[in-house]
Amino acid sequence: MKIKFLTLLLLLSSGVIEAQIVTTDPLFPKADEPVTITVDVTGTSLDGFAWNNSSNPVYIWTWIDNASGDADAPTNIDPATSAADAAKCTRISTNPDKYQITFTPSTFFGKPASEISKIGLKLKSKSWDDRKQTDTDRFVSFTQGFAIVLSNPQDEMMFVNAGSSISVEGGGSAATTFTLKVNGEAIETTPNPSTTFDFDYVVSSTGTYHVAVEGTFQGTTAKDEFRFVVRETAVSQKRPVGVIDGINYNSAEATSATLCLLAPGKTSVYVVGDFNDWTISSDYHMKKDGEHFWLTIDDLSPGVEYGFQYLVDEEIYLADPYADKILDPNDQYIPASSYPNLKLYPAQALHEDERFNRVAVLQTNQQPYEWQTEDYQKPKKEELVIYELLIRDLFGTNARTYKSLIDTLGYFKRLGVNAIQLMPIMEFNGNESWGYNPTFMLAPDKYYGTKDKLKELVDKAHENGIAVILDIALNHQDTPNPLVLLDFNFSTSQPNPTNKWFNVSAKHPYNVFYDMNHESTYTKNYVDTVAHYWLNEFKVDGFRFDLSKGFTQNTVCNGSTSDEACFGVKDDSRIAILKRMANEIWSHSPDAYVILEHFAQDAEEIELSNHGMMLWGNMNHVYNQNTKGYGDNADISRIYYKNRNWTVPNLIGYMESHDEERLMYQNINYGNFQGKYNVKDVTTSLKRMRAANTMFLTIPGPKMIWQFGELGYQESINRCADGTINNDCRLTVKPVRWSFQDDADRAKLFDHISDLLRLRKEYDVFREGTATILGGSSLSKQITLKNSPYTTAPSTAAEMNVQIVANFDVTAKDIAVSFPHTGVWYEYYRGGLPFEITDANSAKISFSPGEYMLFTDIKIEAPPLSVTGSEEVSTFYSVYPNPVNDILIVDGHNTPEEVRFVSIQGAVTNLAKVSAHAWSTGALKAGLYIAELVYKHKVERVKIIKAH
């Protein structure tokens, strides 16, 4: 449905003005009679259009103005189909820029004539995407009684030059005398009754004018009207001391605010808003100070929200780029429970071009948020365990809020993460977005709640020892970002070459929306302002910079947008840009996290890492190869920073992120199998995820988990709303799976990860040790963690060393484990079961498929029962005889799936089953063993003596 808006005509500086764009025959049409509408498209994007009624037609797009219910014509179909043929226009042969269509409105719309008093219309090509259309909504009125219509000018608002002559033309539906009134004063009246009028009004002085033509017939008075503003040069005056770009409040004066807009190359800016009834007026013409425009707005009511826009050079409507609250027509879909008492989008600010439909909000006398946690110490960079999340997909439809996230902090704390990373929450287009289409970088998106609730989230997170990191997109911006629109070619939908912040076209292969020029001083200042604002105003702990590799003019590749390999080559200009940005952040927030989504060559990443920045390390594919049970490209060694030749642990390794396919989805759909062992089985796959996390979270250096990964989330990243899988559905809302907590196997994965994070926190070797990763692309993986300084005879847990082993194959394996030294090692997941290692280089231990072990050379506290699987069995069992000779009997209501004996040296032997409850032990040597009874959801352990 189209919405009425304030149209605007830019009038030329030459004398008489004529702008007859839409005419009707008859002049006063009736809704139940045929009307011929003629539209002159001169000067629009349809000017010179290669019209062909069959192959390249022009259509009328029309709607009933101010109608209740469905006001669109049935032919409003885009792209047009044969069902829209009735809306095809014909071109006038004598004037190829004029198009006509004849129809009876009541028939065309299928509605009674009584419901059609006014229609709006535009002309367009087959698809809006062609951007071939008339540029302004036009209107045709249908009246039953006496009426007056202006045929010139046809705009409700316009600008003129002093000394110009305005031709005011039109007619009435009956003969009468007509009076021209300007600002309520009668200027001229036609001498005799007539059905037409033609006045010329000469503009003599500056100001804002209201023009009306009135007439009376048989006691009924009618009028039509328009407004105009006389152009004047902006007053040149320095800004008051301390005024910066954006909204400036004076704490000592709550009835005024000073607005300031940086608009290079522009000549005039007007302010329209709630405070002046959205009227363009010379009283709200901003003063000019070099490239800045500013104005103090007085007589404001303290604490009241006022919406406003800037009108730049008489044609571009913008919201303030530095406003912290932006109104959007889509706000109507935000639940009141998410944002209580949200100010409605002003109807007066609706424009034909949707890029002009954003409104900034100012409010004096705001009450500052009272911070409760002032002494928070954020985790060291190398100790970060980040939980990446998208609020939209973490909670249900009416709970996608900062409040819900506050209520979930206890869950994060129980899991053991020490940071949460929010996908972009800066004002973005639409509501249900990933957030990488930002438009206003200082305004929290209202879909998730108020700015004070966001501050409360940060405050409460800090109270719980959790840092808050914001994902931020400053490689690009989307319209209607005001800095894009300030200098924009609306015909090509590209920034102009003179734009101070944006490139005309992208300088690299991965760009979306409008690419920022990071070598521009204007862009640098903007980036610095945005970063400082969030760190200072919201006390966030740092940023993850999306697509940081795009912070370049790409001179290395000569601006190529297709050479992806070249784009990753070391780029000294990009390095300099990122170092400058980081230095500026650290100049006022020395401990702020600066995280890059970079993926460049190691040489560049090493330099950035050495400078103090952290970088994402994507290990999704290689870990997934292991969890699926395939050895190709399964080398996980680059999860450790030293294996990339880095000298500082600034690599944030991850198995999953918002951008990568979920491991469990791949396991269940593409996992390997052998005999009865099948990775596609959910329970089996979840066990393998425990193994993967053991080989992931134990490695020193910062790590990241994607939301619900701790519960084995198995919905594809490309899941559509109907459950099908399609790459086009990547950004689609995904199912929320808090119910996974009630699944025993998934809860066990959660507990396992939580315990691993506890180990990281309590034992230095997991944070500060040196790691050696063995296995390459084989599925037998080993990690050796040596403490620093290293000793083969540790006496305390502070000196402890660790050996971790996992079998990711789908068959049992005897793995030659390379322990750091000989002696007694304790297997953590078997309650500290001792293993006497006499050959550190090849201590062979048997592993079932998917099995993992974690050895320490100091016995530490055993893991929780939920991690070992040794919780109480729901049925009784007995194991005999003990000591045993040749046959071991296991009686009980449940029969174990397998029975294995673990020697004191750690060797594992799977016993052969000889009957329903009997296993053969004849081949075992005499000695002490642990018998492991493997049930579906647990493992029971019993000490057994083998007699002979």
- Which structural domain range is residue 424 located in? 383-751
Please report, as a single letter, which amino acid is at residue 933.
L
Q: 183 and 117 in one domain? A: yes
Whether the per-residue pLDDT at 893 is higher than 70: the answer is no
Tens-digit pLDDT profile for residues 642-667: 999 999 999 999 999 999 999 999 99
Report yes or no on 427 lying in a domain: yes
Q: 251 and 196 in one domain? A: no
Instruction: Say what the pTM is.
Output: 0.84
* Residue of 902 and 13 predicted with greater confidence: 902
Of 751, 779, 808, the domain-final residue: 751
Q: 409 and 356 in one domain? A: no
Q: 392 and 309 in one domain? A: no
Residues 6+ apart with CB under 8 A from 385: 416, 417, 418, 419, 697, 702, 703, 704, 705, 757, 760
Q: Which long-range contacts (CB under 8 A, 24 or more apart) does 629-632 make?
A: 629/671, 629/672, 629/673, 629/679, 629/688, 629/779, 629/808, 629/809, 629/810, 629/849, 630/672, 630/779, 631/777, 631/778, 631/779, 632/777
Tens-digit pLDDT profile for residues 137-171: 888 988 778 999 998 998 888 999 999 999 999 99
Locate tokens 């940081």: which residue? 548
Contact 270, 281 (CB under 8 A): yes
Report yes or no on 74 lying in a domain: yes
Q: 700 and 658 in one domain? A: yes
What pLDDT is recorded for position 872?
35
Contact 565, 599 (CB under 8 A): no
- Chain-wide mean pLDDT for the chain? 93
Average pLDDT over residues 39-68: 89
Phi and psi, residue 226, nearest 5°: -155, 170
Cβ neighbours around 238 below 10 Å, total: 12
Q: 402 and 267 in one domain? A: no
Average pLDDT over residues 550-556: 93
Q: At 888, which CATH number? A: 2.60.40
Q: 171 and 252 in one domain? A: no
Q: At 695, which CATH number? A: 3.20.20.80
Give the burial string for 155-165 (b: 16+ CB within 10 Å, else e).
Answer: bbbbbbeeebe
Q: 273 and 190 in one domain? A: no
What pLDDT is recorded for position 21?
81
What pLDDT is recorded for position 558?
84
Contact 331, 345 (CB under 8 A): yes
Instruction: Tell me which residue of 306, 361, 344, 358 sits closest to 485, measured CA to CA.
Output: 358
CA distances from 143 to 21, 40, 117 (A): 21, 24, 6
Q: 349 and 396 in one domain? A: no
Locate tokens 């550190």: which residue? 840
Contact 158, 11 (CB under 8 A): yes
- Residue 877 pLDDT level (bands cut at 50, 70, 90): low
Tens-digit pLDDT profile for residues 407-457: 999 999 999 999 999 999 999 999 999 999 999 999 999 999 999 999 999
Q: 213 and 105 in one domain? A: yes
Tens-digit pLDDT profile for residues 11-38: 333 222 333 489 899 888 999 999 999 9
How many domains is the chain partitioned into structurally? 4
Tens-digit pLDDT profile for residues 765-787: 999 999 999 999 999 999 999 99
Of 362, 395, 412, the domain-final residue: 362
Report yes or no on 795 lying in a domain: no
Whether the per-residue pLDDT at 573 is higher than 90: the answer is yes
Of 751, 778, 796, the domain-final residue: 751
Longest dimension (CA), the chain: 131
Tens-digit pLDDT profile for residues 656-713: 999 999 999 999 999 999 999 999 999 999 999 999 999 999 999 999 999 999 999 9
What pLDDT is recorded for position 70?
66
Contact 294, 261 (CB under 8 A): yes
Tens-digit pLDDT profile for residues 198-239: 999 999 889 999 999 999 999 999 999 999 999 999 999 999
Report yes or no on 65 lying in a domain: yes
- Residue 905 pLDDT level (bands cut at 50, 70, 90): low
Q: 358 and 391 in one domain? A: no
Report yes or no on 2 lying in a domain: no
DSSP assignment letter at 146? -
Average pLDDT over residues 105-129: 92
Element of type H or E holding 522: helix 521-537
Q: Which of 457-461, 556-560, 607-611, 770-774 has the lowest mean pLDDT?
A: 556-560
What pLDDT is recorded for position 19?
37
Report yes or no on 647 lying in a domain: yes
Report yes or no on 4 lying in a domain: no
Cβ neighbours around 265 below 10 Å, total: 12
Structure tokens at 668: 């269940």
Q: 129 and 45 in one domain? A: yes
CA distances from 222 to 7, 144, 146, 465, 560 (A): 22, 12, 7, 70, 63
Report yes or no on 867 lying in a domain: no
Helices (H), 808-885: 865-868
Q: How many helices (H) and strands (E) does the chain have?
A: 16, 58
